[in-house]
Amino acid sequence: MRIIIDEKIPYLCDALLSLGHRVAALPGVGITKEALQGAEALFVRTRTRCDAGLLEGTSVRFIGTATIGYDHIDAGYCREKGIVWTNAAGCNAGAVLQYVQSVVYTCFEELSGLSMGIVGVGEIGSRVARWASESGMKVLLNDPPREERGETGFSTLEEIARECDIITFHPTLERGGKYPSYHLADEAFFSSLRRCKLLINASRGPVVDNKALLSAIESGRLRHVALDVWENEPQINLSLLNKVYIATPHIAGYSAEGKINATGIVLEAFLHFINYKGDVPELALSAPVNEVVEASSLREALLGIYSPLGDTLALKSNPGDFEKLRNGYNLRREPSAYSIVISPKIG
């Protein structure tokens, strides 16, 4: 089978070649209708919009996006044309948790007694909630779709805006339907904040109204903001970039573990699609350099493994290189890859 893949999806090309497929690995911008001629399967990331403009007149029958987000997939068109597609749900949950932890620890030395509001409680939000609770924080959860299914223990967005010191967004991007998340954090939301000291968006850029956010920062309503995702990427709002405390180029989920998880998920879905019954190529990571991390606290250890301040400096110094910084990102390792030894200092 002829297959087109985004060249930035690691391990996938070799795995498909080992199974006898004909593979062309292209830059995301190089995945065009012309490039897809004769291809039956397509593997992409978020920058490739899979709709009629790309797919009409091609023989593509399967699409795998090696990402959690899937708003770049025109699900209606795919359904109409009989194109099977899948995303890599939960693949980078550990990486985004690591990002949130590092952002929070950059802004706070002591977490016990703080309150965190988590908007969107899927795999990522659930992991963030467990960590926050274990760290001694009061946790408020907001997820209307889950609440509608009969689950309990949720708070309204208004309660979170009123009661939380830290608010972090993790919903999927939904522009319509019963529970749209587009501009979920809008002018009204920011006006209702009462004690928020840190706001984080590591979900999708349009979940937060960037103009309203900038206004909230300039008015003094928000102290610290961490943005990994932005409206109109890669042409981001430079005024907002200069105002936020932590600014990164959509790399919260960019760990080696997250990437290999994503590749494994979409590869498995593809093999199921073609009814493959043979051995699946093994995808494995080697141990990181300096595998043992010694620190006086978990905070020190996690920030030693990854601090968002380096990525912030790189983006603020070269905002025009957003895509270059993202596509050329040196994948970090997650804390689970290390042996962390906590040795509290005496005295």
Q: Are 168 and 202 in contact (CB under 8 A)?
A: yes
Helix, strand, or coil here: 196? Answer: coil
Catalytically annotated residue among 47, 127, 204, 224:
204
Distance CA 129, CA 135 (A): 10
Distance CA 41, CA 261 (A): 19
Distance CA 120, CA 125 (A): 6
Q: Are 6 and 48 in contact (CB under 8 A)?
A: yes
- Reply yes or no on whether 282 is catalytic: no
Distance CA 151, CA 183 (A): 25
- Reply yes or no on whether 233 is catalytic: yes
Q: Which two tokens stand for residue 234?
A: 């890669």
The helix (H) or strand (E) run that includes residue 87 is strand 84-87
Measured from the Cβ of residue 242, the count of other Cβ atoms closer than 10 Å reads 11
- Reply yes or no on whether 334 is catalytic: no
Q: Which two tokens stand for residue 129?
A: 């909630």
Write the CA distances from 8 to 42, 94, 177, 232, 325, integer angstroms.
13, 20, 32, 21, 13
Tell me which DSSP letter residue 222 carries.
-
Catalytically annotated residue among 47, 170, 250, 332:
250
Amino acid at 76: G
Catalytically annotated residue among 163, 233, 268, 300:
233
Residue 211's nearest CA partner among 175, 244, 186 is 186
Residue 181's nearest CA partner among 162, 161, 153, 201 is 201
Residue 162's nearest CA partner among 197, 140, 195 is 195
Residue 88's nearest CA partner among 256, 275, 264 is 264
Amino acid at 322: F
**Which positions are annotated as active-site residues?**
204, 233, 250
